[in-house]
């Protein structure tokens, strides 16, 4: 496993996905899946409504952050099978710890995990993405073209989450193949 290659691929795939296809949470999910070679279309689909702070409302979590949490939790979160067990409780708290670490990375670089607050940091203002005129202003401001706007945020979220997944795998003396069950049957 070439860690540097994986993390670079996560960033690049996140950046290009957001640039070319939009949907920050899904692009983060896809980037992590591609970088780790663990494709799961059900997890990808579950991220559909999380773009633009969820439903393009911008007052919710950044999709780069929420998509990263979804993937970290897919690897290390609590299952329904174990929800009432001590192991399930430990798994839940492992996912909390990882989400908090990703939170700290976003705070350090962007000052927030909230979509509209990140907009303020990278654009100098926020946008109402549910309004067609403001959405066009968002696009015109380079949201999906400039190297330091939303594509970079998605790339960062994907890289950071992939790094935390790899750290956890290493700490537990596991390999990516131990997570083959996460792959979609049709992938």
Across the chain, what does the average pLDDT equal? 96
Average pLDDT for 136-149: 95
**What is the number of residues in the chain?**
187
Task: For residue 68, report the phi and psi dihedrals to the nearest 5 degrees.
Answer: -65, -45
Q: Which two tokens stand for residue 34?
A: 């591609």
Instruction: Please measure the distance between the N-terminal and C-terminal CA atoms of the chain and give it in whole angstroms.
Output: 21
pLDDT, tens digit, 9 for 90 and up, residues 39-97: 999 999 999 999 999 999 999 999 999 999 999 999 999 999 999 999 999 999 999 99
pTM, two decimal places: 0.96
> What pLDDT is attached to residue 186?
65
pLDDT, tens digit, 9 for 90 and up, residues 77-93: 999 999 999 999 999 99
Helix, strand, or coil (residue 61): strand
């Amino acid at each position: 496993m070439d860690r540097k290659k994986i993390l670079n691929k996560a960033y690049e795939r996140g950046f290009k996905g957001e640039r070319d296809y939009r949907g920050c949470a899904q692009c983060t999910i896809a980037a992590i899946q591609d970088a780790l070679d663990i494709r799961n279309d059900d997890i990808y689909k579950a991220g559909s409504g999380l773009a633009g702070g969820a439903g393009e409302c911008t007052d919710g979590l950044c999709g780069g952050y929420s998509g990263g949490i979804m993937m970290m939790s897919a690897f290390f979160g609590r299952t329904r099978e174990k929800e009432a067990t001590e192991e399930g409780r430990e798994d839940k708290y492992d996912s909390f710890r990882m989400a908090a670490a990703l939170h700290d990375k976003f705070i350090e670089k962007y000052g927030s995990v909230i979509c509209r607050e990140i907009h303020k940091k990278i654009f100098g203002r926020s946008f109402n993405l549910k309004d067609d005129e403001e959405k066009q202003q968002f696009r015109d401001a380079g949201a999906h073209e400039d190297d330091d706007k939303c594509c970079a945020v998605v790339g960062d979220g994907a890289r950071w989450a992939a790094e935390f997944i790899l750290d956890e795998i290493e700490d537990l003396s596991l390999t990516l193949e131990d997570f083959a069950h996460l792959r979609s049957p049709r992938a």
